[in-house]
Amino acid sequence: MHQTFEIAKASRKVLSQFLENYTLEQLNKIAPEFNNNLIWNIAHIVVTQQRLVYKFSGVPMIISDELFDKYKGGTKPSHDVTQAEVDEIRSLLYETIDQTEADFNNKLFKTYQEYTASIGVTIKNIEGALSFNNYHEALHMGVIMSIRKFV
């Protein structure tokens, strides 16, 4: 599982660079042909990891319910985010992965509510959730790479 966490950390580092190198206006811009923006995708990645790992394990999520509700699957940007929100999301990129790794190593995740993802794969345990999460982040990284060309 060490490599799974290393991949997640590398992904989060790339995402953090978007938050550092794009203006607030660019992060909030919804490009033509897209339903969301750079910052929504980045926050959605954080929220989905919390859902896949914590919520389905019956462990309280690290993030707030408010953040979860704003960026969960099926949502789209409802307002321009502020710099304070960007800063919170930036810190959560690292905090959530570091805490998840610590919680995994401390065997906090004892049960898992099976979940069938939209691609048809059924996640049956925490290891599957962590693996699938990296796949999910890669999908959204592709969307982010596409959006950046238009902002």
| pLDDT digit string, tens, across residues 91-142 | 999 999 999 999 999 999 999 999 999 899 999 999 999 999 999 999 999 9
In angstroms, the Cα distances linking 40 to 27, 30, 48, 124, 125 are 8, 10, 12, 28, 27
> Angle CA(64)–CA(108)–CA(104) in degrees, nearest 5?
90
Note the pLDDT tens digit of each residue in 63-94.
Answer: 999 999 999 999 999 999 999 999 999 999 99
Tokens of 120: 């048809």
Task: Read off the pLDDT of each residue in 39-48 and give the average, rounded to a whole number.
Answer: 98
Three-state SS sequence of 8-27: HHHHHHHHHHHHHHCCHHHH
CATH 1.20.120.450 fits 2-150, yes or no: yes
Task: Read off the pLDDT of each residue in 11-34 and give the average, rounded to a whole number.
Answer: 96
Query: pTM score, two decimals?
Result: 0.95
Tokens of 13: 């580092």
Task: Output the pLDDT for position 1.
Answer: 76
- Whole-number Å distance between alpha carbons of 58 and 51: 10
